[in-house]
Amino acid sequence: MTEVLPHSLRSDARDNRERILEAARAVFAADGLTVPMRRIARRAGVGPATLYRHFPTKEALATEAFAGQMRACYALVDEGLADPDPGRGFTSTVSRLCELHARDRGFTAAFTAEFPHALDFAADRERAVQSIAELTRRAREAGHLRADVELDDVILVLMANSGLQGTSPAARVAASRRFAALAIRGLQA
């Protein structure tokens, strides 16, 4: 999405845009995608009109705000696929994805299709899901996972992980690590 920005943005407009994205990431991470746009504008120190000038919809803002997390998600899955041991690659990827999602509630909601009309993000999500399916297939065929484990089981683990509650991000991450270990054990052959 960054590529479509005009290169002639004034420096104050670029600064406003970056503050809006930083505020959105922080607010979405803490409270998910249900927060009002006005709250994001307040946190960024801009008016609602400025926010809407840069991001006409919450979907557009979420897509841009989560571009970095989506790249991190790809990197985790690609590392798992590159591991010569399919079982270790699967375990590492699922554990790290659960932790990534525990750190950022908004990203989890976006990843699990909270905004189905964000077409760019939907395409990214589809790419990640197909890579996770390949990782799952390889681990299953290598005998590391039960014969009946399929992509839907892994997606269910990620969705269940998003429901973990904690009083702080650190508590959510600790719970996520424990949950991922238990879920992976349940999928293993």
Q: Is pLDDT of 54 > 70?
A: yes
Sign of the four-CA dihedral 135, 138, 143, 145: positive
Look at residue 136 in the predicted model and tell me its pLDDT.
97
Tokens of 163: 């429901």
36 pLDDT exceeds 70?
Answer: yes
Specify the pTM: 0.76
pLDDT for 1 equals 46
Over pLDDT 90: what percentage of the chain? 55
pLDDT of residue 61: 92
As a whole number of angstroms, the distance between CA 98 and CA 40 comes to 26
State the average pLDDT over residues 11-26: 91
pLDDT, tens digit, for every residue of 59-118?
889 888 888 888 888 889 999 999 999 999 999 999 999 998 888 777 776 666 555 454
Mean predicted confidence (pLDDT) in 123-128: 77
Tell me the pLDDT band of 126, cut-offs 50, 70 and 90. confident
Q: Is the pLDDT of residue 119 over 50?
A: no
Count Cβ atoms below 10 Å from residue 163 Cβ, excluding itself: 8
Q: Average pLDDT of 183-187?
A: 98
Going by C-alpha positions, the residue among 16, 117, 10, 26 that lies closest to residue 69 is 26
- Surface-to-core class of residue 99, CB atoms within 10 Å of its CB (0-12 exposed, 13-18 middle, 19+ buried): middle
CA pair distance 94, 116, nearest whole angstrom: 23
Whose tokens are 């998600």? That residue is: 73
**Structure confidence at residue 117 (pLDDT):** 52
| Domains in the chain with CATH codes | 7-65 (1.10.10.60), 67-187 (1.10.357.10)
Average pLDDT of the chain is 86
pLDDT of the residue at 33: 83
* pLDDT score for 176: 95
Specify the range with the lowest mean pLDDT, choosing from 23-32, 36-45, 57-66, 106-115.
106-115
- pLDDT tens for 158-167 read 889 988 877 7
